[in-house]
Amino acid sequence: MFRIASKKILNPTVTQMEIEAPLVAKKAKPGQFIILRVNEGGERIPLTVAGCDVAKGLVKIIFQIVGATTGKLNEKNEGDSIQDFVGPLGKPTDMEGKKKVCVVGGGVGCAISMPVAQGFHDAGANVTSIIGFRNKDLVILEEEFEKASDRLIIMSDDGSYKRQGNVTVPLKELLESGEKFDEIIAIGPVIMMKFVTLTAKPYGIPVTVSMNPIMIDGTGMCGCCRLTLNTDKGKVMKFACVDGPDFNGYEVDFDEAMSRGRMYADFEKKAREASCNLFKKEVK
């Protein structure tokens, strides 16, 4: 069992927790993830490592309440425990030799891009961060991005906070003005990562995207997290859990990834509704 050391509500649908897992905290690096189970017999879900306190043995996770399992996890409070917490899994983000980067985060994807921005900042790189949200109420981790960025641009779809528009608007402005980056790292909804990649393509700047498809075992054996890459040698299949989660944005078949991501939408909706109904009965 793994104890929840702290819990913080970041916005109405996003929660941050610190989990006591000293062995994971000692090894985890930006870009890697863990797989947890809330209780015995529960679903295995992957969550990105959002930070570590090695001295205290704590691993920070940030999750959006979108399904039955994240709903059950959110019912837990400080001092409670969860069943399993396995990691670190996946390959860390490659930060070697990059002096100037642009980190683009969308929505809850900012929980993943924030430690990446921090990692580049700590490594001495010049970091431009562009983060976007649907509205002011959903903004998260602004203070953390401020500390990790040499320049921070915040966008909101409805204009209720900072600039109105999506994250590709300021990115295109920077690139059109002649701004050069060693790399652009995009993390968020698949559709967002697709258009960040398309925006950068005319300028020939490398784009890395973090893929988080359906995942079960985290070792590549189940095959659920497979992705199609369009490489110079033709189509290649990779597994996000062991080959990623970071991939060359110019190679990812985003349309296929979006299609696969929608496959279980109805099932997830029914599971969430069943969980909510069960919770209501227990409260009564």
CATH number at residue 62: 2.40.30.10
C-alpha 113 chain-centroid distance:
6
Residue 13 forms part of a structural domain: yes
pLDDT at residue 218, rounded to an integer: 73
Residue 237 forms part of a structural domain: yes
Residue 216 forms part of a structural domain: yes
Residue 270 forms part of a structural domain: no
Paired tokens of 21: 């897992």
Lookup result for tokens 């929660």: 15
pLDDT at residue 262, rounded to an integer: 66
Same domain, 62 and 104: no
CA–CA separation, 252 vs 256, rounded Å?
9
Mean pLDDT of the chain, nearest integer: 89
pLDDT in tens, 155-165: 999 999 989 99
> Which of 56, 89, 122 finishes a domain?
89
* Under 8 Å between Cβ of 93 and 185: yes
Same domain, 21 and 140: no
pTM as predicted? 0.85
- SS3 per-residue string spanning 63-98: EECCCHHHHHHHHCCCCCEECEEEEEECCCCCCCCC
Residue 282 forms part of a structural domain: no
Same domain, 251 and 151: yes
Assign residue 266 a region (left: φ > 0; alpha: ψ between -120 and 50; beta: otherwise): alpha
Same domain, 117 and 216: yes
Q: Checking DSSP bridges between strand 33-37 and strand 45-53, what pairing results, if any?
A: antiparallel
- Mean per-residue pLDDT for 33-48? 90
The fraction of the chain above a pLDDT of 90, given in percent, is 64
Picking from 38, 172, 256, the residue whose alpha carbon sits closest to that of residue 163 is 172
What are the backbone angles phi and psi of residue 202, rounded to the nearest 5°?
A: -60, -15
Paired tokens of 259: 């299609």
Same domain, 128 and 76: no
CA–CA separation, 105 vs 133, rounded Å?
9
Same domain, 200 and 59: no
Lowest mean pLDDT segment, chosen from 62-76, 82-96, 139-153, 217-231: 217-231
- Sorted by sequence, the CB contacts under 8 Å of residue 186 that are 6+ apart come out as 104, 105, 106, 192, 193, 196, 197, 207, 208, 209, 210, 249
- Sorted by sequence, the CB contacts under 8 Å of residue 268 that are 6+ apart come out as 66, 67, 68
pLDDT in tens, 199-236: 999 999 999 999 887 777 777 777 777 888 988 888 99
Same domain, 61 and 112: no
Range of the domain at 186: 100-261
Same domain, 140 and 235: yes
* Bond preceding residue 12 cis, omega within 30 of 0: no
Same domain, 42 and 130: no
Residue 276 forms part of a structural domain: no
pLDDT at residue 264, rounded to an integer: 60
Residue type, 183: E
Residue 155 forms part of a structural domain: yes
Same domain, 122 and 202: yes
What are the backbone angles phi and psi of residue 15, rounded to the nearest 5°?
A: -125, 145
Count of domains observed in the chain: 2
Residue 269 forms part of a structural domain: no
pLDDT at residue 271, rounded to an integer: 55
Same domain, 109 and 199: yes
Q: What's the CATH number where 163 sits?
A: 3.40.50.80
Same domain, 236 and 136: yes
> Which of 35, 55, 89 finishes a domain?
89
CA–CA separation, 70 vs 75, rounded Å?
9
